[in-house]
Amino acid sequence: MSELTLQDWQQQAATLTIEGRAFINGRYVHAISGDTRPTYNPATGEKLADVANCDTADADKAIAIARQTFESGIWADMSPAERKMVLVRWAELIEANADELALLECLDVGKPIADTTGVDVPSAARTIRWTGEAIDKVYEEISATPKGTLSLITRLPLGVVAAIVPWNFPLSTTAWKIAPSLATGNSVIVKPASNTPLTAIRIAQLATEAGLPDGALQILPGPGGKLGAYIATHMDIDGLTFTGSTPVGKQLMEYSGQSNLKRTFLELGGKSPNIVFADADLDKAASMAATAVFYNGGQTCTAGTRLLVEESIHDEFIEKVIQHARDWMPGNPLDPNTTMGPMVDQGQYNTVAEYVQIGLNEGCKLEFGGKAIEVTPGGYYHEPTIFTGVNNQHRIAQEEIFGPVMSVIKFRTAEEAVEIANDSIFGLAGAVWSNNINTAIKVAEQVQVGTMGINNYFGGDITVPFGGFKQSGNGRDKSIHAFDDYTELKTTWIEFE
């Protein structure tokens, strides 16, 4: 955790040099067209930098270089132990430049500096180091075959992998994608979210400094609808890894079918249930219920936006949650005491405000928040917001808002809680709070999600897989299981006398 003050960060921000060019073949380059598009600071609405606005011609160039690099074997054929050392050095360089990266992420996304220094940057470094260190410890397989035969089951890199990533955790989701795809020997193209490209652009240079061969990693900033779609339909991309919204994820599956059936793995949206029973530690559960929704301004795919509360404790528990919601009033992201910053842009702010109105129109009771708030002039700040009296069929219980809006739903029995929890198109995450081990484990087992907490929310680290059931996606980021998304299994059957 950094010791710097608001004034220190403001000073650093005033003198920060921001790189906005694309990164292709080991160096920064302008878009072929020369086009740029601005990226803005969500805390002020002011322009931060002009960023290369890459197009199809840049994509063709980057993909051709990635292909040549893959086929040259300079990276793919390097021993796993050597690839490991490059990734470990890269993680060290990210740590050595932690303040700069944390500041860039704070300015570009509006995330509190305490989060970018304490979570985003350390988590990216840990992902890259852990994954690098794992790659020379993964063994391949031999199956049980008859005498006179030997089977080898080996993993081969896909070739050229594209990663399309969102704006809510730009650095850490980029790390989740590029660490395992590079570790397994692929060449990689990253398309950052068009409004938050800065940290991906910066860490590419650090990868080169760490010894990653030119052409193994390219960063192409540009619009999703045009550049992203072009990459996703490209015949020379072998694998596509995506984190973003469910509608775009569905589109990418179609693109795969329309083009070359590129392996397509998706981490998508959520509407996660956080289930609190009367016998839980209510103080801890209330504190985490607020954190589960308001952390990162609710712009978190796993946010526990549906708070399911046992009827007998509902009023008492909501009182406690409201007390904790006060700790999440928005502040200047550069202030180390800030817990919640602005929404990422005007569009996201508008979405939140529209859903607050929808909640009111649906007859839900606004218990806390619900309005814009001015912190720094020009910023897109919204109060933490709590609705009670929500029915699971309401739109604010079914649709992903991606903002600091909690929908509280009552339940009477464990069966009813599970039924409500599973009545969603999503299945990303959830949690159950109970001091009865039988209730906790039974409910956790029955809720259809990729990550379930018992008496915690947001639990997990790089050692465990992360991904969704149902329309929250397929494939898994993190852990050794992430290697499955970036490799093909190959069988070699040998007969001998």
Q: Which is nearer to ligand NAD, 267 or 383 (CB)?
A: 267
- Distance, in Å, from the CA atom of 289 to the CA atom of 294, rounded to the nearest integer, reads 9
Amino acid at 406: M
Alpha-carbon distance 456 to 450, whole Å?
15
Q: For the CB of residue 26, give the shortest distance to ligand NAD in the complex, in Å.
A: 23
Candidates 119, 301, 421, 462: give the one binding ligand NAD (CB under 6 A).
Answer: 301
Looking at the Cβ atoms of 166 and 297, the one nearer to ligand NAD is: 166
Cβ atoms 67, 96 nearer than 8 A: no
Q: Which residues 6+ apart lie within 8 Å of 244 measured at CB?
A: 164, 165, 166, 193, 224, 267, 268
> Does position 269 bind ligand NAD by CB under 6 A?
yes
Q: Tell me if 473 contacts ligand NAD by CB under 6 A.
A: yes
Q: Is 245 in the site for ligand NAD (CB under 6 A)?
A: yes
**Residue 191: CB minimum distance to ligand NAD, A:** 6
Active-site option among 54, 106, 301, 364:
301
SS3 call for 52: strand
Minimum gap (Å) between residue 294 Cβ and ligand NAD: 16
In the list 105, 115, 238, 267, the residue contacting ligand NAD (rule: CB under 6 A) is 267
> x/- binding map, residues 171-200, to ligand NAD, per CB under 6 A?
--x-----------------x-xx------
Nearer to ligand NAD, 155 or 226 (CB): 226
Rounded distance between C-alpha atoms, residue 333 and residue 335, angstroms: 5
Least distance in angstroms from the C-beta of 58 to ligand NAD: 15
Length of the chain: 497
Using CB under 6 A as the binding rule, whether residue 228 contacts ligand NAD is answered as yes
Please name the residues in contact with 317: beta carbons below 8 A apart, sequence gap of 6 or more.
276, 282, 285, 286, 309
Query: Cβ distance 423 to 317 under 8 Å?
Result: no
* Contacts for 166 with CB less than 8 Å, ≥ 6 apart: 173, 193, 243, 244, 245
Q: Which of 70, 90, 130, 167 binds ligand NAD (CB under 6 A)?
A: 167
Instruction: Write down the least CB distance from residue 89 to ligand NAD, Å.
Output: 27
310 binds ligand NAD (CB under 6 A): no
Question: Among residues 244, 273, 333, 341, which is the contact residue for ligand NAD, using CB under 6 A?
Answer: 244
Query: Which DSSP string corresponds to 110-126?
Result: ---HHHIIIIIHHHHHH
Looking at beta carbons only, is 93 or 178 nearer to ligand NAD?
178
Catalytic residue among 54, 106, 267, 310: 267
CA distance 344 to 353: 14
Compute how many other C-beta atoms are within 10 angstroms of the C-beta atom of residue 438.
9
Site stretch for ligand NAD (CB under 6 A), options 225-233, 319-327, 353-361, 366-374: 225-233
Note the Cα 421 to chain centre separation in Å: 22
Residue with tokens 């499955």: 484
Q: How far is the CB of 69 from ligand NAD (least distance, A)?
A: 23
Q: Is 267 annotated as catalytic? A: yes
58 is a site residue for ligand NAD (CB under 6 A): no
Q: According to CB under 6 A, which one of 112, 166, 331, 359 is a site residue for ligand NAD?
A: 166
Min separation Cβ 77 and ligand NAD, Å: 31
Residue spans of alpha helices (H) in 21-109: 56-72, 80-96, 98-109
Is residue 428 close enough to count as binding ligand NAD by CB under 6 A?
Answer: yes
Please, what is the minimum distance in Å from the beta carbon of residue 469 to ligand NAD?
11
Q: Could you tell me which stretch among 5-13, 56-64, 103-111, 267-275 binds ligand NAD (CB under 6 A)? A: 267-275
Closest approach, Cβ 162 to ligand NAD, in A, equals 9
Report the half-sphere exposure of 419 (CA within 13 A, side-chain side). Answer: 9
| DSSP states of 240-272 | EEEES-HHHHHHHHHHHHHTT--EEEEE-----
Contact 493, 146 (CB under 8 A): no
Which residues touch 34 (CB under 8 Å, ≥6 apart)? none
Which residue number, 229 or 366, has a Cβ lying nearer to ligand NAD?
229
165 binds ligand NAD (CB under 6 A): yes
Q: Pattern of binders to ligand NAD over 371-400, x per CB under 6 A?
A: -----------------------------x
Within the chain, what is the greatest distance between any pair of CA atoms?
A: 80
* Residues designated as active site: 267, 301
Q: Give the binding site for ligand NAD (CB under 6 A).
A: 164-169, 173, 191, 193-194, 224-225, 228-229, 232, 243-245, 248, 251, 267-270, 301, 400, 402, 428, 468, 472-473
